[in-house]
Chains A and B, each alone.
Chain A
């Protein structure tokens, strides 16, 4: 039982790290329109 509880804590830590990464990504990278995204691509032509 003890082992399972430890395992759950590690799992929670993994999910927490993933949530932090997701938050950072969503906040720092904004959605743009498709046209803007294509125009901003390097070497688009």
Chain B
């Protein structure tokens, strides 16, 4: 210990400190996969939409009055109170005693209950109930769903929105009706007072 150069000792200490800081702390940038940014997510199937997952997916319990009041509190993981009925094959009508009219009315009031269940049978309900879906791993939505919901601005973007491509969907909607009922506003509503 007597022969140790204390300046070198301090240098080693500082080097260890700085290197560890550099490796542990860094500015984080949100990175979007190139194929998602290009909107070519159609080929990438969202993992949670795959058929084997459907029987185990839990339906969020969504009560109708809450949808318009505080949509942010309705995330799927908050209150899963019931499970999807076990379906043996994709496309089987999931309408049954577990799916009450209330849940269906949330997502697709305009559509008849049985038709809605059949329509969304291959897509588990998202944070806003039937007709909404969480984005897949690449940010892509279920096939054929085109409406992106931005939970920060509470706007939804249709493909004719100029910022459609750069919008990162936090939730996908099947149609505008569902998006409106979930408390989202059309992207151009502020620009056209008559809307």
Residues of A bordering B, CB below 8 Å: 2, 5-6, 9-11, 13-22, 24-25, 29, 35, 37-39, 41, 43-45
Contacts and interface: CB of A to CB of B under 8 A. Distances in A.
A21 B13 contact: no
B30 A17 contact: no
Nearest to B4: A9
Query: Is chain A's interface secondary structure helix, strand, loop, or mixed overall?
Result: helix
Interface string B1-26: 10111001110111111111100110
B150 A20 contact: no
Contacts of A18: 16-17, 19-20
Interface of B: 1, 3-5, 8-10, 12-21, 24-25, 28-30, 75, 150, 152-153, 166-168
Contact of B9 (A10, A15, A39): A10
A13 B30 CA distance: 36
Contact of A45 (B3, B14, B168): B168
25 contacts: A6-B5, A9-B4, A10-B12, A13-B9, A13-B13, A13-B16, A14-B13, A17-B12, A17-B14, A17-B15, A17-B16, A17-B20, A18-B16, A18-B17, A20-B17, A21-B17, A21-B19, A21-B20, A25-B21, A25-B25, A41-B30, A43-B30, A44-B152, A45-B153, A45-B166
Given A10-B4, A20-B17, A25-B21, 18 more contacts: A9-B1, A10-B9, A14-B15, A14-B16, A16-B13, A17-B14, A17-B15, A17-B20, A21-B19, A21-B24, A22-B24, A24-B21, A25-B24, A35-B75, A41-B28, A43-B30, A44-B30, A45-B150
Nearest to A35: B75
Which 9 A-B residue pairs are closest in the complex by CB-CB distance? A17-B16, A21-B20, A18-B16, A17-B13, A17-B17, A14-B16, A13-B12, A18-B20, A14-B12
